[in-house]
Structure 1
Amino acid sequence: MRKIVRMLLALLALAAPASAWADPQYKLLVLAIPNKYHYEYIPVARDSLERLARLHEFELVWTNRPEVFEQDLKPYAAVLFLNTPGEELNATQRAGFEAYMRAGGNAMVVHRALIMPNKDWPWYEKMVGRSFVIHPMLQTGVVTVEDSGFPATFGLPSPWLWSDEFYVTANPHNIDITPVLGVDESSYDPTLIWPGQIARPMGKHHPIAWHHQWERGRVFVTTLGHNVEMYRDPQYLAHLMGGIYWTATGRGRR
């Protein structure tokens, strides 16, 4: 009986398409921890990213446990902080991630993952490239492509009508970034915010996605991705996939 089972398995292996047995191109670690503001997106985002991993033949490791940063991160081509800021990591885990980046690791930061308490972890703020100031209410605005040669823009129209929290950011550490997407502040009200808070426009130069080099690695940041429906949207997922592809491989620039 065992011989028959082994023969059947061997025949199935021969009959399966070669792509089914292909090695993944790279390995991506995704950290997504439920928190007060973001939790309902997680099952949808996980399903969508796992489908992208199958489609584009890379290995995705999904976790909500920051303890993974106490392990060897070298096997990962990139680490993606998905709506999960660096404040979730303790001192040991932060040191592990810093060592990973200094050894040539790469990072991708999505939406709330760039928001850190003031002076909590300056190294992380510098890695992100900008510090969060505030955001007005979620509104529909006109997003513009600032770098059409970057993979995270390939699936997007320009201009692109999109609804999100258009973050206001500052550059207290004087970090140079290359903007990928911007937003036209005349297309929404950048001062519309809750009572007791004040939001001011950033002006003509308002980046909402960017990339740069940090330590010895690549960093891609997108401030877009507030609600669950976005993780079902083909254009937004193309934006994420382009960011993942460049962050993990360094390829795709035109």
Structure 2
Amino acid sequence: MTARTALIVRGGWDGHHPVDATNLFVPFLERNGFAVLIEESNEVYADEALMRRTDLVLQSVTMSEISHEAQAGLAAAVRAGTGLMGWHGGIADSYRASSDYLQLIGGQFATHPSKDPALRVGDETDNYLTYTVEITDAGRAHPIMEGIEDFTLTTEQYWVLHDDLIDVLATTTHPVQPYHPWHRPITSPVVWTRQWGAGRVVVATPGHSVEVLQVPQVQAIVERGLLWASRTGSE
């Protein structure tokens, strides 16, 4: 039987540990019958022949830029059935200048609210909040979230700008605090899927560090999302 092909594209800002984070899931992909190809440049998306035979893309590229040819190649592959999965800034904060990429993904990182100014110490933990991931009704009926109940994380809580073509499987709510400028609680998607042509897109916003990706619920969401998004994934 011919192995499925998973393409890992990683790079961008090192603060999201794209190498260590994606390496965490290579053994899982291999155990599930994928031949894994790893690329450090998103220009691989412009390789039409390679993308045509790629069943799944796992992207971890925070910020950075993407050429028109590479973006068009990725979008064409997804429309034709290639799955696309990623987490945190590696997919939801990629290629900020590309509106076509943002339309493909369906959501974009806006900010991660920080702690009370009196509690900040000047490092990345200033943006670590304890928050609840709440599973939606659609999530409870979806194979990615099966058996997962609401859970808490202490990490960056992503505020996401998004459209209504996404299917939201889990959410989080940003509360009102006296040191923030908004005036009512804001709910953001935490896990969503998107059908784009014949392809499936899965986005999970937790994943700032390898430790967060190893939280059992987060790891399960990523692993199930990879399988579900793949061209030959289960319904």
> Which residue, 206, 210, 217 being the options, matches 1:235?
217
- The equivalent residue for 2:171 is 182
- Note the C-alpha offset of 1:125: 0.8
Q: Which amino acid aligns with 1:102?
A: R
Structure 1 residues not aligned, in runs of 5+: 1-21
Q: C-alpha root-mean-square deviation of aligned residues, in Å? A: 2.7
TM-score for the superposition, normalised by structure 2: 0.79
Do structure 1's residue 65 and structure 2's residue 31 form an aligned pair?
no
Structure 2 residues not aligned, in runs of 5+: 114-126
Matched ranges for 1:118-197 at <5 A: 120-136=97-113, 137-146=127-136, 147-154=139-146, 156=148, 158-171=149-162, 174-185=163-174
The count of residues paired between Structure 1 and Structure 2 equals 217
> Which residue, 214, 221, 230 being the options, matches 1:248?
230
> Which residue, 186, 190, 193 being the options, matches 1:211?
193
Q: Which amino acid aligns with 2:71?
A: R
Q: How far does the alpha carbon of each residue in 1:9-41 deviate from its partner, in whole angstroms, 9 at most, with x for none?
A: xxxxxxxxxxxxx643x21111110425323x5
Q: Assess if the C-alpha contact under 8 Å between 2:66 and 2:95 holds in 1.
A: no
CA distance in 2, matches of 1:82, 1:215: 22
Residues 200 and 92 from structure 1, CA distance in 2 versus in 1: closer, same or farther, beyond 3 angstroms? Answer: same
Q: How far does the alpha carbon of each residue in 1:75-133 deviate from its partner, in whole angstroms, 9 at most, with x for none?
A: 11121212435x43222212222222333332223210212565x21111111112322
Q: Secondary structure at the match of 2:54?
A: coil
- Note the C-alpha offset of 1:69: 1.6
Q: Assess if the C-alpha contact under 8 Å between 1:134 and 1:199 holds in 2.
A: no
TM-score for the superposition, normalised by structure 1: 0.74
Residues 134 and 61 from structure 1, CA distance in 2 versus in 1: closer, same or farther, beyond 3 angstroms? Answer: same
Q: Percent identity?
A: 22
Residues 37 and 202 from structure 1, CA distance in 2 versus in 1: closer, same or farther, beyond 3 angstroms? Answer: farther
Larger Rg: 1
Q: Pick the structure with more strand per residue.
A: 2
Q: Which amino acid aligns with 1:46?
A: T
